[in-house]
Amino acid sequence: MPYTNADAIDSLRERIPTFRCIVGCHDCCGPVTASSEEVARLPVRTAEEHEQALAELSCPYLGKDGCQVYSERPLICRLFGTTPRMPCPNGMRPVYMVDARTEQAVHSFLGRTRQVLL
Q: How many domains are there within the chain?
A: 1
Query: What DSSP character marks residue 115?
Result: E
Domain of residue 105 covers 5-19+26-117
The per-residue pLDDT for range 45-99, each reduced to its tens digit, is 999 999 999 999 999 999 988 899 999 999 999 999 999 999 999 999 999 999 9
The per-residue pLDDT for range 13-49, each reduced to its tens digit, is 999 999 988 888 888 888 999 999 999 999 999 999 9
Q: Please, what is the Cα angle at 74 between 68 and 80, to 5 degrees?
A: 95
Q: Quickly state the pLDDT bin for 112 (edges 50, 70, 90).
A: very high
Q: What is the pLDDT of residue 113?
A: 95
The per-residue pLDDT for range 50-59, each reduced to its tens digit, is 999 999 999 9
| Whether residue 1 has pLDDT greater than 90 | no
Q: What is the pLDDT of residue 24?
A: 81
Distance between CA atoms of 96 and 99, rounded to whole angstroms?
Answer: 8
Distance between CA atoms of 85 and 58, rounded to whole angstroms?
Answer: 21
In our burial notation (b when 16+ CB lie closer than 10 A, e otherwise), range 67-102 reads bebeebbbbbbbbbbbbeeeebeeebbeeebbeeeb
| Whether residue 2 has pLDDT greater than 80 | no
Q: What is the pLDDT of residue 20?
A: 86
